[in-house]
Structure 1
Amino acid sequence: MQVKAVARYVRISPQKVRLIVDAVKGKPVEKALATVQFMPQKAAGIVEKVLRSAVANADQYSDVDIDELVVGNLIVDAGPTFKRFRARARGRGTRILKRTSHVTVILTDSAL
């Protein structure tokens, strides 16, 4: 069985989140949470929160054993980008792109 949790419009660049995701993909949930918990990056806290949400979603099903869950897939997509301008010399302005991410965690049984 697959269980899913999604965090949308997270204010961090998808590139930064993907660095954390690669370290967690395919691991058992307990090991993945332990790995993410001690990473110093901001993205690690976001991934941890979504992982815990997916485990809580799995807890709602009576036929799913939480100890047997594995991080099946972790997808990070780009969300909408906020466009801002910063004043520069000679009356010019430069564009600042504030990127957002959509983080999706899919947990599966280890039997699959």
Structure 2
Amino acid sequence: MEAKAKATYVRMSPRKVQIVLDLIRNQPADKAMAILKFTPKAATEPVSKVLKSAMANAENNYNMDVTRLYVSEAHVAPGPILKRVQPRSHGRAYRINKRTSHITLVLKEMED
């Protein structure tokens, strides 16, 4: 049995989110929350929201024991890129890519 949660179109680069997801992969859910709380990265806020949602899904939808949950899968996929233009000298225009991410977390119960 597994519980999933997904956040789509998060306005953050997938590279920045991947650093945070590597910290919590294969960790117990409560320890993962503590790691996210004390990690000074901007990506911890959307990742912690997804983790809370996955824990709530596990508890309410699948009747899983929250104390025995661990992060079995954590991955990020690139979403659509918002393309913007920055004016430069001599009438040129430089492209600015504002990247988005799709964050997915899967929680499972530990076996005895």
TM-score (normalizing by structure 2): 0.96
Unaligned runs of 5+ residues in structure 2 are none
Letter in 1 for 2:33: L
Distance 1:106 1:29 in 2: 11
1:37-76 map, 5 Å: 37-61=37-61, 63-76=63-76
Structure 2 match to 1:110: 110
1:1-112 map, 5 Å: 1-61=1-61, 63-111=63-111
Distance 2:15 2:5 in 1: 20
Identity of aligned residues (%): 43
TM-score (normalizing by structure 1): 0.96
Letter in 2 for 1:22: D
Cα distance per residue 1:48-74 (max 9 Å; x no partner): 110001001111135311110010000
Letter in 2 for 1:107: L
Cα distance per residue 1:83-106 (max 9 Å; x no partner): 000000000000000000000000
RMSD: 1.2
Q: Which moved more, 1:90-99 or 1:35-44?
A: 35-44
Letter in 2 for 1:48: S
Structure 1 runs, 4 residues or longer, greater than 4 Å off: none
